[in-house]
Amino acid sequence: MVIDGSESELGILDLIQVLVETLDRHFKNVCELDIIFNCEKVHWVIDEMIVGGLVVETSPSAILEVIEAQAKLMHGQTELGAAAATAARQIDSVMKGLPPRPNF
C-alpha cells in the first residue's frame, strides 16, 4: 500500500485486515500460490473495495457476494461458448450430409 501523510494508519491497517479476511474466506485458507495463480480474482476483490482511490466497501460478505456473482457470470459465458461451439460442429456435420447446392 502506498499512502500519504494525510491517511489514517489505523484505517489502512483495517483495510489490509479486511482484504486478508476476504481473500481467506474466498480461497478457503489463502496462501501465496492462491494469489499468484488467481491474481485476476484478487484484483476483483481489490476493485470491489477501492474505487478511484477511495474505500467504498469494507464488508467481506458484501464483497464476496459480488465476486461470486462475477464468477458465475464468467462460468455461464464459458458454458455458453462451449454450447455454441458444439452447435456449430453439429451444423457442420449436418451440412456435410446434405447434397451439394447447385451453383447459379
* Full domain range(s) for residue 51: 9-97
Q: What is the CATH number of the domain that holds 33?
A: 3.30.450.60
Integer CA distances (angstroms), 64 to 13, 14, 55, 59, in order: 20, 17, 16, 9
Note whether residue 64 is domain-resident: yes
Query: pLDDT at residue 104 above 70?
Result: no
Domain count, the chain: 1
In this prediction, residues 76-91 reach a mean pLDDT of 76
Assess if residue 39 is contained within a domain.
Answer: yes
> Which residue from 75, 61, 59, 38 is spatially nearest to 30, judged by alpha carbons?
38
Q: What's the pLDDT tens digit per position in 37-74? A: 999 889 989 999 999 888 899 999 999 999 888 888 88
Average pLDDT, the chain: 86
Kindly state whether residue 102 falls inside one of the protein's structural domains: no
